[in-house]
Amino acid sequence: MRTFITFVTLLLKTWFRSKTSLFFGLALPITLLLVFGTIFGGPSPPSYSLYVRNLDLDGSGGPAPLSKAFIDALNSSVFEVKLLPPDAPPQQSTGFTAVRILTIPQGFTGSLLNASIRTRIDITADTILRFVEMAGENISSEVRANISRGIEGMEDFKQSLVVGNTTLILEGSPDDRILQAIEGILNVIASKFELGLLNASAVLQVKTQFHQIRQLRAVDYYMPGYIAAFIMTNGLLGVSQQFSEYRRRGVIKLLASTPVSKSFWIASIVAVQTIASLVLTSVMILAGWLVFRIAVYPDVFSLAVILLGTLAFTGFGVLIGGVLKEAEAVAALGNTLSFPMMFLSGAFWPLELMPGYLQAAARYMPLYYFHVALRETLVSGSPATAIIPALVVAITAVVATISAVAATKWKDF
Amino acid sequence: MRSEAIIVSDLVKKYGELTAVDHISFNVFEGDVFSLLGPNGAGKTTTVEILECLRTPTSGDAWIKGLSVRDPKDVRKIKKIIGVLPQEFYAVDNLTVLENVVLAAAAKNSDNVRGVLERLGLWEFRGRRFSTLSGGLKRRVGLAMALVGEPEIVFLDEPTTGLDPEARRETWHLIRELRRSGVTVVLTTHYMEEAERLSDHVAIIVNGRIAAEGEVKNLISRYGGRTTLVFDDIDEEARQHLVDRGFNVEALSGGRSVVRVEGEHEVFEVISYLRSLGYEGYPLIRRGGLEDVFLSVIGSKLSEGGDLI
């Protein structure tokens, strides 16, 4: 036991003194969490940018009253309105923010006022007719005739009101996935604006109630993904290269010439990697909580998943470092395995964003099951849904560890 | 009578078609420094790695203090009594001198770290990272890692390769100290001078076979040939006089002449004879050594890099 503790202590020292280990094991994952969390997953609501080109101008060139009121209504909604001069050229997309332009037609104010008065006339006439019908025989035929003439007069006045173009044009790219949602939001704002002109209010309403099911934010998704991905790189790249380096320097030969067994040596490496993984997880949780208020559930289940993932990827690292003789080949294979997994397993972004064939490919990667199991336990607090991915990680860990012990040469190098 | 620390019997190691060690047998006595001398690729490292239980022999056997390297039960016992400095060994860069030796001590379940560091003059450097040490100190750390645990037999595989002359002499001093303390040392080297200065016994190994083996002085007297006297200033006439008296004389370029004699008495005979002829100069005297043994047995010399030339 004393030997084991000494080995683990010394190997931990080498880990914490290695700039590469500290960079890949702590600095890079925290940086990625802070950067991508801030860009894509911060606590503020998403903003919808919308350019508005107002062609409805008064005699002095300023916005006519109703178009101005409509723009104010847009501004007080989810939209981040940017006004475009009537003759401004089309805006270019930066590739990250979609360009959407809403054009308010010329004569919008007059047409909308006339249309609103026409609607009021229709409602008034319809209301009077309903009262007359309800009154039935209680209204004399003479009064009925007067009412009928009055309604005809209102109808004549209505016909005299000219309604021009009231259609708002929304321009956007077919690649803009939320353009339809934006059209829907604009329709709701326009309807409320019309009701406001009629001095009416909507009867049908939607009220938001927050339920107890936790909705993950992007940053909640990133954190367990980064933890899993960097536990993987620590194993596949860090351990394999350390093992290869120790062999090249003769350290493995020196140890193999002592009574220490290879299983003992591998167990020491696994213990060190486990401690490094727990340090990484703790620091990520702390950074996530401090900056993004990510609430996680570090419990025995998430701890078990971390241990299994560490065991699996440390096993693969020892296997690579133990089997391949050339340091360059070790680095090449480690990179070849870890980088595609990092980017294609869904650790960094949801699988749903990727094409179907890549989603299918991800399910053959151990890292996929590791980050899913970790997310379910650590962030969602749902160990039941983590059972199957955790089982896959456990099987991988057993296979990797057995292969590592079997393939590591402690003799006949 | 001294007993054998190591007995090697008809050892063979093959890698596919290549025979790296070809029916080698030798004994190493307790307290001796035994050198395996040979060019690169001769099979020296393979041989000692079999003795270190790091390689499995294809056939034959070796016994370390009576324990067989082929018997798994014995191997664990062997590993407790040996110390190994592998070829081109470099300890862990980002551990200190002390931590590296503690690593080796932990592997051997030993705690005489301070004693070893003091013995090798490393105690004052104990807090320095391995990566910051000079080449000589680095090799000393390797020796300390091999010596921690107080091994009875130490295997040093090319311990001075790549070191500057001063660091090499330091290492030689440490090996002599080891010998004085009664530790059996098995050394592999391609440096003639190293083998000659440090060893009690030498085995010259070429192409996996032992070409010559024995005590250094016996090997030199048997194969080392004659003492050579190199003169800068004797002329053709003097050379002829020496030839007439039965000496082996050879003219070299640049006017130099070499006279090969059998022993010390002939050295004086040659010099006094030349004095009688009026030649006053003193020759450069070179006694026969392992280099001559090597040349005599193998027919080639060894370069500084360890290749046959």
B153-157/B82-85 β-pairing: parallel
User: Is residue A221 within 8 angstroms of chain B, CB to CB?
Assistant: no
User: What's the gap between Cα A266 and its chain centre?
Assistant: 38
Nearest CA in chain B to A250: B89
Look up the domain containing A362 and give its range. Answer: 2-42+217-407
Domain contains A391: yes
Residues A265 and A402 reside in one and the same domain? yes
Among residues A136, A165, A197, which one ends one of the domains?
A197
Q: Specify whether the backbone of B289 is left (phi greater than 0), alpha (psi in -120 to 50) or beta.
A: beta
Distance, CA of B110 to CA of B113 (rounded, Å): 8
Confidence (pLDDT) at A49: 84
B257-261/B227-231 β-pairing: antiparallel
Alpha helices in B6-112 (DSSP H): 44-51, 72-81, 97-107
Residues A294 and A311 reside in one and the same domain? yes
Q: Which CATH architecture has domain B4-221?
A: 3-Layer(aba) Sandwich (3.40)
Confidence (pLDDT) at B238: 86
The fold of B226-287 is: Alpha-Beta Plaits (3.30.70)
Residues A236 and A381 reside in one and the same domain? yes
How far are the Cα atoms of A253, A327, B88, B116, B200 from residue A249, in angstroms, in the given order?
9, 11, 7, 22, 30
* Contact indicator for A407, A319 with CB cutoff of 8 Å: yes
pLDDT tens-digit profile, chain A (413 residues): 889 999 999 999 999 999 888 888 889 888 988 888 887 765 444 558 889 999 999 888 889 999 999 999 999 888 889 998 888 776 666 556 678 899 999 999 999 999 989 988 998 999 998 988 888 888 888 888 888 899 999 999 998 888 888 899 998 888 777 888 889 999 999 998 988 888 877 777 778 777 665 566 778 888 899 999 999 999 999 999 999 999 999 999 999 999 999 999 999 999 999 999 999 999 998 988 888 888 787 889 999 999 999 999 999 999 999 888 888 999 999 999 999 998 899 888 888 888 889 999 999 999 999 999 999 898 888 888 889 999 999 999 999 999 999 988 898 87
Among residues A136, A166, A197, which one ends one of the domains?
A197
Nearest to B92 among A251, A259, A413 (CB): A251
Chains A and B: how many Cβ contacts under 8 Å? 86
Confidence (pLDDT) at A43: 47
User: Is residue A7 within 8 angstroms of chain B, CB to CB?
Assistant: yes
Nearest to B108 among A17, A259, A412 (CB): A259
* A96-99: long-range contacts, CB 8 A cutoff, minimum separation 24: A97/A49, A98/A49, A98/A172, A98/A173, A98/A175, A98/A176, A98/A178, A98/A179, A99/A51, A99/A172, A99/A173
Q: Which residues pair with B302 in a beta bridge?
A: B308
User: Is residue A264 within 8 angstroms of chain B, CB to CB?
Assistant: no
User: Is residue A10 within 8 angstroms of chain B, CB to CB?
Assistant: yes
Per the prediction, chain B carries an average pLDDT of 90
Buried-state track B77-114, b at ≥16 Cβ within 10 A, e below 16? ebbebbbbbbbebbbbbbbbbbbbbbbbbbbbebebbe
What would the mean pLDDT of B251-261 be, rounded to a whole number?
80
Residue B82 has pLDDT above 50, yes or no: yes
Residues A226 and A318 reside in one and the same domain? yes
Confidence (pLDDT) at B288: 77
Residue for token pair 């006004």: A83
Domain contains A68: yes
Confidence (pLDDT) at A37: 82
Angle, nearest 10°, between helix axes A327-344 and A300-323? Answer: 150
* Contact indicator for A411, A256 with CB cutoff of 8 Å: yes
Nearest CA in chain B to A19: B94
Residues A31 and A53 reside in one and the same domain? no
Distance, CA of A90 to CA of A86 (rounded, Å): 11
At A396 the three-state DSSP class reads: helix
Specify the domain boundaries for CATH 3.30.70 within chain B: 226-287
Domain contains A232: yes
- Nearest C-alpha neighbor of B170 from the set B206, B124, B137, B196: B137
Nearest CA in chain B to A12: B95
CB contact under 8 A, A13 and B103: no
Specify the domain boundaries for CATH 3.40.50.300 within chain B: 4-221
Confidence (pLDDT) at A44: 47
Residues A175 and A296 reside in one and the same domain? no
CB contact under 8 A, B89 and A253: yes
Confidence (pLDDT) at A212: 61
Residue B148 has pLDDT above 50, yes or no: yes
Nearest to B106 among A6, A250, A257 (CB): A6
Confidence (pLDDT) at B274: 87
Residues A233 and A156 reside in one and the same domain? no
Chain A CB contacts of B86 under 8 Å are 250, 253-254, 257
Q: Which residues pair with A53 in a beta bridge?
A: A84, A103
* Contact indicator for B227, B247 with CB cutoff of 8 Å: no
Residues A364 and A395 reside in one and the same domain? yes
* pLDDT tier for residue B97 given thresholds of 50, 70 and 90: very high
User: What's the gap between Cα A117 and its chain centre?
Assistant: 46
Confidence (pLDDT) at A211: 62
Looking at A336-340, B239-243, B251-255, which range is the least confident one?
Answer: B251-255
Q: Specify whether the backbone of B34 is left (phi greater than 0), alpha (psi in -120 to 50) or beta.
A: beta
Q: Enter the ipTM.
A: 0.85
Domain contains A413: no
Instruction: Enter the tokens of residue A151.
Output: 């309604």
At A182 the three-state DSSP class reads: helix
Which of A251, A257, A409, A410 to probe by mutation at the B interface, max B CB count within 10 Å?
A257
Residues A120 and A154 reside in one and the same domain? yes
Confidence (pLDDT) at B173: 92
Domain contains A327: yes
* Contact indicator for A274, A61 with CB cutoff of 8 Å: no
Residues A127 and A157 reside in one and the same domain? yes
CB contact under 8 A, B102 and A246: no
Distance, CA of A29 to CA of A227 (rounded, Å): 7
B153-157/B184-189 β-pairing: parallel
Domain contains A202: no
Residues A158 and A293 reside in one and the same domain? no
Distance, CA of B218 to CA of A51 (rounded, Å): 101
CB contact under 8 A, B146 and A250: no
In order, the DSSP letters of B134-181 are -HHHHHHHHHHHHHTT--SEEEEESTTTT--HHHHHHHHHHHHHHHHT
The residue ranking higher by pLDDT, A212 or B255, is B255
CB contact under 8 A, A13 and B99: yes
Residues A23 and A123 reside in one and the same domain? no
Chain B CB contacts of A258 under 8 Å are 79, 104, 107-108, 149
